[in-house]
Amino acid sequence: MDRIALVGGGLIGQAWAIVFGRAGYEVRLFDADPAVLEQARRNIAARLDDLASLGLLEDGADALDRVRYAATLGEALASADYVQESTPERVEVKRALFEELDRFAAPDAILASSTSGIPASSFTEGLAGRQRCLVAHPINPPFVTPLVEICPAPWTDSAVVDRTHALMLAVGQAPIRLRREIQGFVANRMQGALIGAALRMVKDGVVDAEDIDVAIRHGIGLRWSFMGPFETIDLNAPGGIADYLRRYGQLYQAIEHELATPLDWSDEALIAKVEGQRRARLRAPRLGERSVWRDRRLMALAAHKRRAADDFGE
Ligand X SMILES: NC(=O)c1ccc[n+]([C@@H]2O[C@H](COP(=O)([O-])OP(=O)(O)OC[C@H]3O[C@@H](n4cnc5c(N)ncnc54)[C@H](O)[C@@H]3O)[C@@H](O)[C@H]2O)c1
Q: Is 111 in the site for ligand X (CB under 6 A)?
A: no
The closest alpha carbon to 119, from 89, 79, 87, belongs to 89
Between CA 5 and CA 73 the distance in angstroms is: 9
Closer of 135 and 244 to ligand X (Cβ): 135
Q: Is 116 in the site for ligand X (CB under 6 A)?
A: yes
DSSP 62-113: THHHHEEE-SSHHHHHTT-SEEEE---S-HHHHHHHHHHHHHHS-TT-EEEE
Q: Is 11 in the site for ligand X (CB under 6 A)?
A: yes
Q: Give how many residues touch ligand X by CB under 6 A.
A: 24
**DSSP E strands, 86-191:** 110-113, 133-138, 147-152, 174-177
With CB under 6 A as the contact rule, the residue among 131, 140, 232, 236 that binds ligand X is 140
With CB under 6 A as the contact rule, the residue among 49, 89, 231, 264 that binds ligand X is 89
Q: Is 77 in the site for ligand X (CB under 6 A)?
A: no
With CB under 6 A as the contact rule, the residue among 57, 97, 144, 202 that binds ligand X is 97
- The region of 11-19, 145-153, 199-207, 244-252 touching ligand X under the rule CB under 6 A is 11-19
Between CA 115 and CA 150 the distance in angstroms is: 11
| 34-63 residues near ligand X, rule: CB under 6 A | 36
The closest alpha carbon to 212, from 200, 223, 228, belongs to 200
- The region of 5-13, 124-132, 205-213, 256-264 touching ligand X under the rule CB under 6 A is 5-13
- The region of 44-52, 82-90, 159-167, 239-247 touching ligand X under the rule CB under 6 A is 82-90
Closer of 286 and 294 to ligand X (Cβ): 294
- The region of 28-36, 124-132, 162-170, 286-294 touching ligand X under the rule CB under 6 A is 28-36
The closest alpha carbon to 30, from 49, 4, 48, 66, belongs to 4
Whether 27 and 66 have beta carbons less than 8 Å apart is answered as: yes
Q: Which one-letter DSSP state was computed for residue 169?
A: H
Q: Is 120 in the site for ligand X (CB under 6 A)?
A: no
**Binding-site ranges for ligand X (CB under 6 A):** 7-13, 30-33, 36, 86-89, 93, 97, 114-116, 137-138, 140
